[in-house]
Amino acid sequence: MQEQSSENAPTVASFFSGIGGFDLGFQRAGFRVVTQCEVDPFCTDILHRHWPNMLRFGDIQEVSHAAIPTADVWVGGFPCQDVSLARMGPRAGLKGKRSGLFYTFARLIDQCRPRIILIENVPGLLSSHGGCDFGIVLKTLDELGYGVGWRVLNSRYFGVPQSRQRVYIVGCHRDISGPGEVLFESERRSGYASTRTEDGQESISPFKRSFGDSVKGPIVQGIAYCLYACSARHTGTDWSRTYVTYPEGRVRRLIPSECEQIQGFPIGWTMPQNPPEDIEKLDTLRYTALGNAVTVSVVQWIASRTLPVLQRMKLEEELLVPLSGAA
């Protein structure tokens, strides 16, 4: 069971919750989770294990806005399958059955108007239908009264050994400066970047660096390639090209507990309370859930930067109340 923040803590509502990456990241930053929404049975089981007393919805298409508790921040990564570059053939984009759930999410946002929203998706959203789908997302949020900003962040720069690029979109209701304050640092490093001399050492790709015992093994890459949702049987590129090797020639894929760690989750996070006897089936469920998850440390960084923006927005709202009353 995850410890919740105090009753006075800022609140967050989670949609397309998956295994709770958004929830855990915001909770670690001092927020209190007030509701979750997830349709997948395995992911719902994991959520129930960690947040047993949480108000939880299933299919987002059946959620009434009146039933959603008031929350300062709404978070969610609507399904990426129809916009992902990993999809073979033409991409349906926001016209697809799964990624099209963005419109359902937007309808609920329109009806409830949380102060801040955070959306995550694959970089393929930026190019889907020549950029038109991303334009629709931005235009929709703008028409709902949100100042919007976005940034592509790579998990490898947030304390985990995985190269995982995702686009994060922040919307602040009636606030145009908030998204930039959340997503972009105003600080810069001092001095100038060093230049490479003619005799300088050529940089080595982090994917080619390896660590481990060269005699007994195991040996692992310095940085893992992006985790994808896949089954326990898949090989080749479905292993995301990340392998664990041994000097005698044995090769294996990352096991679920290792995948949990490079996504920023504690070991054992995706082990259900009543696991199936079929280990291969269980591993497939865990691999798929982790491949679809957000990296917790990235979300925690965003959440920590969201907190002062939220506090400023609340203060400004309080200051405006007397002025509107006098008018």
pLDDT value, residue 237: 47
pTM of the model: 0.90
Residue whose tokens read 């855990």: 24
Q: Please check whether residue 119 is in contact with residue 106, taking contact to mean a CB–CB distance below 8 angstroms.
A: no
Which member of 37, 43, 80, 172 is catalytic? 80
**Measured in whole angstroms, how far is the alpha carbon of residue 8 from the centre of its chain?**
25
Mind listing the domains of the chain with CATH numbers?
A: 11-184+292-326 (3.40.50.150), 210-273 (no CATH)
The answer to whether residue 112 scores a pLDDT higher than 70 is: yes
Range with the poorest average pLDDT among 110-114, 150-154, 203-207, 242-246: 203-207
Q: Respond yes or no: is residue 259 known to be catalytic.
A: no
Distances (CA, A) of 124 to 24, 83, 118, 121, 131: 25, 6, 18, 8, 9
pLDDT value, residue 238: 47
The answer to whether residue 300 scores a pLDDT higher than 80 is: yes
pLDDT tens digits for 41-97?
999 999 999 999 999 999 999 999 999 999 999 999 998 888 887 765 688 889 898
Average pLDDT on 225-230 reads 84
Both structure tokens of 211: 């660590």
pLDDT value, residue 216: 83
- Nearest alpha carbon to residue 306 among 172, 105, 122: 172
Q: Please check whether residue 301 is in contact with residue 184, taking contact to mean a CB–CB distance below 8 angstroms.
A: no
pLDDT value, residue 222: 86
